Chain A
């Protein structure tokens, strides 16, 4: 299942990124910035949530004998993945720029203004993730409502 593959990739990425962030020199740049927020979303959302969805899509059909709609499942997957990528990439770039602005002793407000476009991208990514959740809910609801039983899972 594609969800599990993404989760495994993000597990690797997130762990590597986390160790990188803990280095003294990088922490100086990234601490207190939105970089940290990108990292937590990549791990908690990219790993845990994707694993949970993989489990849900894997177990629910086996337990109920019904199957979710493939198109909706694909929509859910791509919206969540692209949303997460848009969300975290913009915060990683923005957070890095903000850290550099602080290190250069520029006025704090300048570091607020420079984040504005990245926060806009982040909202877009967040909206995509939220839409993905709605699709997931609708998909599951549809699946459990149908009477159609697919017997292929009865082993």
Chain B
């Protein structure tokens, strides 16, 4: 047999092809399939329901991933978006058919904030509708485009319509804005984006994962306010038109007894039908963080109201927990 590559071109091409094939199996296909079989989703119920799946398609179709990442790095500057992403977070994601690649939603540019945990951070559906209809209506500095085509403009509201309280100056016409099917699906998908907690045994290698609760993530109450409160109550505390109330001049904020305010922050509030629902922050923020953010708002708009302390918050937290336990 002629083993000379210079004269036996068949041997040359077969060797090149086999070399390429074996190497790509070893360094690409092999590791990928090992990961696919070993890495499981963190929750059993991590599968999306049909509506969330449709919303995911809207997410891809509207090209959200161009400006929004869905990967949190284990860095301090990424803590604001949630815990560091782990391979398991992406295990449930499969291509929709054998001819399609897995949708790339990890993203490469963070023109807007990371959305890995947006269902937790922005767990308010109405806020998301307002924001999608026109981001400026809730976040003045936002540069995100308005996705008004996901909504319908109607003259008369029917039973099943969800009305979006768009402030007049942001309404494109003078009709009532109601949620369209696509917007509803998309928001359902966004609400699905919640990071489940990670335990070391979930991971292949036990790498140290930064979790939010183990450390102080924010250096000031102003930062916490900007992260969790400002999207509805406004950076200046003035709220959003008829959708979210102003903190400036709020009687709850000015009260010298802070317990009502602490309860609202811990449990959320839905007492006033005129305004949107406020989510509960008890699970998201620690006592010292709540103290920092309440005192920030009291200093800014409380007109000299007495500040609160971490002990007061802790006491109320235990009280509330006892009373809900007793209800059960």
Contact = CB atoms under 8 A, between A and B. Distances in A.
Given A32-B69, A109-B139, A113-B141, A103 B77 contact: yes
Contacts of A115: 143
Contacts of A107: 223, 226-227
Contact of A108 (B80, B109, B143, B219): B80
Interface size class of B (residues with CB under 8 A): 20 to 34
Contact of A112 (B73, B143, B230): B143
A128 to B, nearest CB: 22
Interface residues of A, number: 18
A105 B69 contact: no
Contact of A37 (B69, B76, B109, B223): B109
A37 B223 CA distance: 29
A102 B77 contact: yes
Nearest to B143: A112
Interface string A106-140: 01110011011001000000000000000000000
Contacts of B227: 107
Given A112-B141, A112-B143, A105 B110 contact: no
Nearest to B69: A32
A34 interface: yes
A109 B144 CA distance: 12
A33 to B, nearest CB: 7
Nearest to A40: B108
A119 B67 CA distance: 14
B75 interface: yes
A105 B223 contact: yes
B223 A108 contact: no
Contact of B141 (A28, A37, A105, A109): A109
Interface of B: 69, 73, 75-77, 80, 108-113, 139, 141-143, 218-219, 223, 226-227, 230, 235
Interface of A: 28, 31-34, 36-37, 102-103, 105, 107-109, 112-113, 115-116, 119
